[in-house]
């Protein structure tokens, strides 16, 4: 059984890599379709591997659900070894299933979405590379290997955001995403260095075993470093500005990387490194506070956006805020649970948005949409399911996970817990508002002129390769939450608890009480948004506030003024005052000085052989005298 689990883990990890390499090496020798199907197939093979691992672990004794498989020693320096090893336990096997499963569906969807693009092969090679990187991140058995996966997903994200490199905005967005992520990568790496310095190891087991013996300063610094990485990767305030811009990439990329998997890597890190964060409770609470702030700010900003994908992007930030909140108060099971249900319904929302965009020839502005319900009935149902799950309406998956997080905040007690609780409930209201606003603007009402122009009869809602994955995700978004019913059966939570023991546990009464409040708030949000839609109004009527929100609270402008402008001014000043007068002029001086000296010295070279002979003889005589005299 052990060998099957390890083999499944390696197959899962390496299959997408093989796909990416095969597509890259085959190049023009295979058709675009073939490249697409290689990518789909290898991702589903990875899903098969993940299933083997999951079933193997499920069947195993609970005490035997942690398997480390080492390929070889990758790096060895004195007593410090880093091995190329994968760790499969309950947490990573769950993540493997989510990444490869949802990833496979989205790659499949891409087959239809990207059809006809000039560079499909490149796209699918990048997609496979991304799936590999993400699997490496979740399967890594030590912090260094995780950091490698961490960097690789950033690279894949950069490549895919800038996939349409003829669009200047896409290239700018890709660079922005890379730079913001690099900040997080740097703090993560610093945390790792500190761990090597203080514990002499990067292996999860070793490190977590030694956490208690470390000084509190060290633990706090390490936790801060890891939190910095998580905040950047998961687009939390203040390193969130890259995510909305990342919507310049193809829509399946937004679904896979910027909703379902990569952006949740931060949550995975918080849960995986929970022993470190528990030893640094202040930092852990900071994570919860960051999550709460992000979920509120992103929810408010989502109210005023006009781009269909940007609204969903802000909603993603907001939902990841919930996950950070959960991980920050120690409700690890619910953090991963919400990660999973969010992967289902957010991927679904992005994919239905992709169907709409595909149908309307690339239009993303919701002001031009409307009335699509009659034109795209099946897409409408899928979007509605995604929206209901996002709002947390009972039965749908988001209901079980989000309310669990909010009630855990209540159960954790004290001032912080209650504040987070209120923030979570306000977030539920905001979610209801922006989701309903988006739904009504796109699907309800009479078809707009623009829609009538572009929606031709017989166009269909999309090719089968797009509609089947959407169908599967619709089912998952509906029933995917039924693995946790508080008080009745909670296998999912127990499964995650084996890896990360939760710090808080809400009672059943708290759970259902919170649910009642959250659902009524979401319904109030729905009602308000609907009334506003029917009256043709927006929620934010004050033009000043509207402007502030439309500029996303001026984060970009502030960073521009705080970091970019001073750095650029400093560069210009250095160029003018140091580079030009000092460096360049001194180089000129060295050059012309050498030429001048050469001219003077050149006169010694008379070209007369006999003069040289005299000079040699004279020099020898001088040397002899010196030699004798010195001795």
Instruction: Indicate whether 415 belongs to the interface with other proteins (CB under 8 A).
Output: no
Q: Which two tokens stand for residue 322?
A: 């919930």
What is the separation, in whole angstroms, between the first and last Cα of the chain?
Answer: 85
**Distance between CA 270 and CA 123 in Å, rounded?**
31
User: By C-beta, is 609 or 630 nearer to other proteins?
Assistant: 609
Give the DSSP H/E element, type plus range, for residue 84.
Answer: strand 80-88
Smallest separation, CB 598 to other proteins (Å): 9
- Beta-sheet strands, E only, within 343-407: none
Q: Which two tokens stand for residue 629?
A: 């005299």
Q: Classify burial at 61, counting beta carbons within 10 Å of its beta carbon; exposed 0-12, middle 13-18, buried 19 or more.
A: exposed
Smallest separation, CB 618 to other proteins (Å): 10
User: By C-beta, is 306 or 612 nearer to other proteins?
Assistant: 612
CA distances from 172 to 163, 181, 235, 245, 247 (A): 11, 14, 17, 9, 12
CB 327 within 8 A of CB 287: yes
SS3 assignment, position 142 = strand
User: By C-beta, is 508 or 616 nearer to other proteins?
Assistant: 616
User: By C-beta, is 58 or 612 nearer to other proteins?
Assistant: 612
Residues 597-626 that bind other proteins (CB under 8 A): 601-610, 613-614, 617
Smallest separation, CB 608 to other proteins (Å): 5
**Distance between CA 574 and CA 273 in Å, rounded?**
43
User: By C-beta, is 78 or 607 nearer to other proteins?
Assistant: 607
Smallest separation, CB 627 to other proteins (Å): 17
CA distances from 288 to 48, 94, 134, 191, 321 (A): 35, 23, 24, 20, 8
Smallest separation, CB 621 to other proteins (Å): 10
Smallest separation, CB 606 to other proteins (Å): 6
CA distances from 520 to 298, 389, 432, 479 (A): 21, 14, 10, 21
Q: Which two tokens stand for residue 432?
A: 């209801």
User: By C-beta, is 488 or 604 nearer to other proteins?
Assistant: 604
If you search the block for the tokens 């899928």, which residue do you land on? 382
CB 311 within 8 A of CB 367: no
Among candidates 546, 379, 574, which has minimal Cα distance to 474? 379
For residues 544 to 583, the per-residue mask of contacts with other proteins, x marking binding by CB under 8 A and - elsewhere, is ----------------------------------------
User: By C-beta, is 516 or 620 nearer to other proteins?
Assistant: 620
Smallest separation, CB 607 to other proteins (Å): 3
The separation between CA 251 and the C-alpha centre of its own chain, rounded to angstroms, equals 15
Residues sharing a CB contact under 8 Å with residue 625, sequence separation 6 or more, in sequence order = none
Smallest separation, CB 604 to other proteins (Å): 7
Smallest separation, CB 592 to other proteins (Å): 19
Smallest separation, CB 589 to other proteins (Å): 23
User: By C-beta, is 543 or 599 nearer to other proteins?
Assistant: 599
Among candidates 314, 269, 301, which has minimal Cα distance to 287? 269
User: By C-beta, is 209 or 593 nearer to other proteins?
Assistant: 593
User: By C-beta, is 166 or 603 nearer to other proteins?
Assistant: 603
Smallest separation, CB 593 to other proteins (Å): 18
CB 417 within 8 A of CB 331: no
Tell me the number of residues near other proteins by CB under 8 A.
13
What DSSP designation does 102 have?
H
Q: Which two tokens stand for residue 455?
A: 């929606």
Residues sharing a CB contact under 8 Å with residue 101, sequence separation 6 or more, in sequence order = 47, 50
| Residue ranges that bind other proteins, judged by CB under 8 A | 601-610, 613-614, 617
């Amino acid at each position: 059984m052990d060998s099957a689990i390890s083999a499944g883990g390696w197959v899962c990890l390496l299959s997408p890599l093989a796909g990416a390499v095969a597509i890259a090496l085959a190049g023009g020798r295979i058709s675009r379709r073939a490249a697409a199907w290689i990518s789909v197939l290898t991702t589903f093979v990875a899903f098969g591997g993940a299933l083997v691992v999951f079933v193997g672990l499920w069947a195993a004794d609970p005490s035997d659900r942690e398997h480390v498989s080492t390929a070889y020693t990758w790096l060895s320096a004195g007593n410090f070894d880093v091995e190329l090893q994968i760790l499969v336990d309950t947490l990573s096997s769950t993540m493997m299933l989510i990444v490869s499963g949802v990833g496979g569906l989205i790659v499949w969807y891409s087959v239809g979405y990207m059809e006809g693009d000039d560079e499909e092969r490149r796209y699918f090679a990048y997609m496979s590379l991304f799936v590999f990187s993400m699997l490496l991140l979740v399967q890594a058995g030590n912090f260094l290997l995780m950091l490698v996966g961490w960097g690789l997903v950033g690279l894949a994200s950069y490549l895919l955001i800038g996939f349409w490199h003829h669009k200047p905005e896409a290239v700018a967005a890709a660079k922005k995403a890379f730079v913001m992520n690099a900040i997080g990568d740097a703090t993560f790496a610093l945390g790792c260095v500190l761990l090597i310095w203080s514990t002499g190891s990067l292996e999860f087991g070793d490190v977590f075993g030694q956490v208690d013996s470390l000084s509190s300063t060290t633990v706090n610094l390490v936790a801060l470093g890891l939190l910095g990485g998580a905040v950047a990767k998961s687009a939390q305030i203040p390193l969130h500005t890259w995510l909305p811009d990342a919507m310049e990439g193809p829509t399946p990329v937004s679904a896979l990387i910027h909703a379902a998997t990569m952006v949740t890597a931060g949550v995975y890190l918080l849960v995986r490194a929970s022993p470190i964060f528990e030893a640094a409770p202040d930092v852990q609470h900071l994570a919860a506070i960051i999550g709460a702030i992000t979920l509120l700010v992103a929810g408010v900003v989502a109210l005023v956006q006009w781009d269909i994908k940007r609204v969903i992007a802000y909603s993603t930030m907001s939902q990841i805020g919930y996950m950070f909140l959960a991980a920050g108060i120690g409700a690890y099971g619910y953090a991963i649970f919400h990660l999973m249900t969010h992967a289902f319904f957010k991927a679904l929302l992005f994919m239905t948005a992709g169907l709409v965009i595909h149908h309307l020839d690339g239009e993303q502005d919701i002001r031009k949409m409307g009335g699509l319900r009659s034109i795209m009935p099946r897409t409408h149902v899928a979007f509605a399911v995604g929206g209901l799950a996002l709002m947390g309406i009972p039965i749908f998956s988001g209901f079980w996970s989000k309310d669990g997080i909010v009630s855990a905040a209540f159960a954790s007690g004290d001032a912080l817990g209650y504040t987070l609780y209120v923030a979570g409930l306000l977030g539920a209201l905001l979610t209801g508002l922006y989701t309903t606003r988006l739904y009504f603007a796109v699907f309800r009402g009479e078809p707009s002129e623009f829609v009538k122009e572009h929606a031709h009869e017989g166009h269909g809602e999309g090719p089968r390769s797009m509609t089947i994955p959407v169908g599967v995700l619709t089912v998952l978004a509906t029933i995917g939450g039924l693995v946790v019913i508080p008080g009745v059966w909670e296998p999912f939570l127990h499964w995650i608890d084996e890896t990360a023991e939760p710090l808080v546990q809400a009672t059943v009464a708290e759970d259902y009480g919170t649910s009642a409040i959250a659902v009524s708030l979401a319904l109030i949000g729905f009602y308000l948004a609907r009334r506003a839609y029917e009256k043709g109004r927006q929620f934010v009527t004050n033009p000043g506030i509207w402007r502030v929100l439309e500029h996303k609270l001026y984060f970009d402008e502030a960073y521009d003024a705080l970091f970019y402008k001073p750095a650029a001014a400093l560069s210009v000043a250095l160029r003018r005052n140091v580079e030009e007068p000092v460096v360049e002029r001194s180089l000129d001086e060295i050059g012309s000085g050498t030429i001048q000296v050469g001219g003077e010295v050149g006169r010694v070279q008379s070209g007369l052989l006999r003069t040289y002979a005299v000079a040699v003889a004279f020099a020898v005589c001088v040397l002899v005298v010196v030699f004798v005299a010195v001795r």
